[in-house]
């Protein structure tokens, strides 16, 4: 899985600088699966996230986002089979380590990710299901299946694009839309158990920070 996905990413030229910088800090390769203890040791040098091994597949969304804000992330215990590299409907250890953790070693990304989590908590408490869906869209279409513009080229930003060759190919063979707050919050509920029908391009993490601030100002 490690070799094939890296070949796909490199062949398509879709690896973002932020991800590769984080991945280089991890110091891992295809020789073994890193433990949570090892990942925490590395994280302590950079952003201080705590990674916790768990058997849970889906946590309560408010609890999950509170833990994210507190710089804690659960890592799934199971690993997909090689046959599921194209797509796996559940977030497994491969997805967590390859997709999320390299980004979380970057302080700017880490702050953005935590701000989205707190926005979700506040939206859920103050606005109920409608706001929960809207902020969930911001999170999903940015941090899971988002695309970022780097030096005039489109690169993978979302964690799912780094862990799923099927999602990666589909995202860049489609026609991604320009990302805006209004577009994201007006989308119907997404289906995280299948490949997506649409993808969005952000200009920068600063743009995401502005979307989060705008949502908070307008709706909270």
Q: What is the CATH number of the domain that holds 137?
A: 1.10.800.10
Task: Report the DSSP beta bridge partners of residue 156.
Answer: 15, 147
pTM for this model (two decimals): 0.94
Average pLDDT, the chain: 93
**Residue 145 placed within a domain:** yes
> How many independent structural domains does the chain possess?
1
pLDDT digits (tens, 9 = 90+) for 90-149: 889 999 999 999 999 999 999 999 999 999 999 999 888 899 999 999 999 999 999 999
- Phi and psi torsions of 15, nearest 5°: -85, 120
Determine which helix (DSSP H) or strand (DSSP E) holds 200, and give its type and residue range. Answer: strand 200-202
| From 87-101, 144-158, 180-194, the region with the lowest mean pLDDT | 180-194
Task: Report the DSSP beta bridge partners of residue 72.
Answer: 50
Q: Give 31 or 71, the one with higher predicted confidence.
A: 71
Calculate mean pLDDT across residues 27-49.
Answer: 95
**Residue 220 placed within a domain:** no
**Residue 150 placed within a domain:** yes
Distance CA 80, CA 89 (A): 10
**Residue 170 placed within a domain:** yes
CB contact at 8 A, 49 and 110: yes
Q: Give residue 58's pLDDT.
A: 64
Distance CA 71, CA 16 (A): 23
**Residue 126: domain span:** 2-213
Q: Give residue 87's pLDDT.
A: 86
**Residue 102 placed within a domain:** yes
CB atoms within 10 A of CB 45: 9
Place of tokens 């997805």: 95
Q: How does DSSP classify residue 82? A: G
**Residue 140 placed within a domain:** yes
Q: Give residue 3's pLDDT.
A: 85
**Residue 180 placed within a domain:** yes
CB contact at 8 A, 67 and 118: no
Q: What is the DSSP string of 102-155?
A: HHHTSHHHHHHHHHHHHHHHHHHHHHHHHHHHHHHHHHIIIIIT-EEEETTEEE
**Residue 219 placed within a domain:** no
- Phi and psi torsions of 92, nearest 5°: -100, -175
Comparing CA positions, the residue from 9, 163, 165 lying closest to residue 93 is 163
């Amino acid at each position: 899985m490690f070799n094939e996905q890296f070949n796909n990413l490199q062949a398509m030229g879709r690896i973002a600088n932020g991800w590769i910088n984080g991945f280089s800090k991890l110091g891992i390769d295809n020789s073994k699966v890193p433990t949570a203890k090892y990942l925490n040791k590395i994280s302590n040098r950079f952003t201080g996230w705590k990674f916790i091994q768990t058997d849970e597949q889906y946590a309560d969304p408010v609890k999950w986002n509170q833990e994210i804000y507190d710089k804690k992330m659960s890592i799934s215990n199971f690993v997909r089979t090689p046959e599921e590299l194209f797509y796996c409907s559940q977030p497994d250890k491969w997805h967590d380590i390859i997709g999320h953790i390299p980004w979380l070693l970057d302080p700017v990304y880490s702050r953005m990710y935590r701000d989205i989590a707190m926005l979700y908590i506040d939206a859920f408490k103050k606005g109920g299901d409608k706001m929960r869906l809207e902020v969930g869209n911001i999170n999903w279409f940015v941090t899971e299946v988002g695309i970022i513009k780097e030096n005039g080229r489109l690169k993978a930003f979302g964690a799912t694009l780094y862990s799923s060759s099927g999602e990666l190919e589909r995202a860049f063979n489609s026609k991604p839309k320009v990302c805006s707050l209004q577009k994201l919050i007006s989308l119907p509920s997404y289906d995280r158990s299948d490949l997506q029908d649409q993808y969005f391009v952000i200009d920068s993490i600063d743009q995401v920070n502005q979307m989060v601030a705008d949502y908070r100002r307008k709706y909270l």
